Amino acid sequence: MRFSAPHRAVAGLALTAGLAAGSAGLASPASAHDGHGPRARAVFVQTDDPAGNTVVAYDRNPDGTLTQAGIYSTGGLGGVLHGSVVDHLASQGSLALDESHHTLYAVNAGSDTITVFAVHGDTLTRRAVVPSGGSFPVSIAVHGRLVYVLNARDGGAVQGFRRHDGGLVPIAGSRRALGLDPSATPEFVSTPGQVAFSPHGSQLLVTTKANGNNVDVFAVTRHGSLRSSPTVNNLPGTVPFAVTWDQRGRVALTEAGTNAVATFRLDHHGTLHAIDSEATGQAATCWIVRSQDHVYASNAGSADLSGYRIARGGDLVSLGITGTDAGTVDATVTRDGRFLYVQAGAEGKVDAYRIRWNGSLNPLGSVTVPNAVGGEGIAAE
């Protein structure tokens, strides 16, 4: 079921408010794993602290619980969008892990930079801090050697980079302005939500949330730049926030304006073709992650996760609701599909769950991340 009023997004996301009563070099951990024993499987959490952004590394124990291993400065500052509480960036994908190249990328929204870390198990080494190519970076997409960054302020823009010698080199002519209204309010609802590559890397998607209610799809050239203009998919009143991909390459999209999860087929022209939409019945449905044929949407205003199985034809089958700590925001799933970790921004926590064969979630407890209230950005091996 869908609702036509765009202001429904503001009402839903505003519920979250009630939940709250550089240079390159070696990063300096406040505490760190000693490096002995078997290689750790890690979970990385960004604090987005305006006083100094950090990434906190956790060892993932065999039972899925987390043990803090180290704290690493990004060399930049976190940022806070006006009106936000439990998620200061109001975006998905502000921390991106490239396991193939042992690299972690973090946004520094308060200083308009991107930090590049080398990953060695649960240990990070800061390799570079580079300008984001715009104002207030909030999301990062990686495909092969290409990295695209979404900058949220001043009307929004994407900037392309190429991974090189442990750092990032801007791709000439790759910047594309989104042309959003920079004066639209409230800011945290009106800034773009995510940048994401299609599975084969031939297209780049950007969600605009309430500032247009669009999903813009850019064609990626063989040189890594973008075509001059995107295909604009207008979804009135839905407030498209975040995307993921199912096993057959279809789009699963959260719609914060209608508090729904929707599936689409994306064609080679960049057009989205609707398949199914299911209302979560919850408040502020914004973030989404996938594990095999299951997806989980974070409902910040309800402090829970909505689970769905995506059927062969793309239809959504409800798996029910799972409670979290307050302020449910960005989430990640381990590569083996066994565990899900979700940030709870009201108190700066991360909640852990085991994913069962049928898609249900078993809670494993939580950890409190230092200086991470309102923080966003999480990635797991």
**CA neighbor of 134 nearest in space, from 107, 117, 105, 156:** 156
pLDDT at 24 over 90: no
Residue ranges per domain, the chain? 8-380
pLDDT at 380 over 90: yes
As a whole number of angstroms, the distance between CA 183 and CA 127 comes to 36
**CA neighbor of 11 nearest in space, from 299, 329, 283, 193:** 283
Average pLDDT on 178-188 reads 97
- Which CATH number does the domain 8-380 belong to among 3.40.640.10, 2.130.10.10, 3.40.50.800, 3.40.50.10800? 2.130.10.10
As a whole number of angstroms, the distance between CA 242 and CA 251 comes to 10
As a whole number of angstroms, the distance between CA 29 and CA 333 comes to 25
Average pLDDT on 164-177 reads 95
Instruction: Read off the pLDDT of residues 260-291 as tens digits, 9 standing for 90 and up.
Output: 999 999 999 999 999 999 999 999 999 999 99
Does the CA dihedral 38-55-329-17 come out positive or negative? positive
pLDDT, residue 374, reads 97
Question: What DSSP character marks residue 306?
Answer: E
Average pLDDT on 9-23 reads 37
State the pLDDT confidence band at 55, using cuts at 50, 70 and 90: very high
pLDDT, residue 40, reads 65
Answer left, alpha or beta for residue 135, where phi above 0 means left and psi between -120 and 50 means alpha.
Answer: beta
Q: Which of 31-35, 159-163, 265-269 has the lowest mean pLDDT?
A: 31-35
pLDDT at 4 over 60: no
pLDDT at 216 over 50: yes
Q: What share of the chain has pLDDT > 90, as a percent?
A: 89
Average pLDDT on 2-8 reads 38
The reported pTM is: 0.91
Q: Which of 7-16, 228-237, 295-304, 352-361 has the lowest mean pLDDT?
A: 7-16
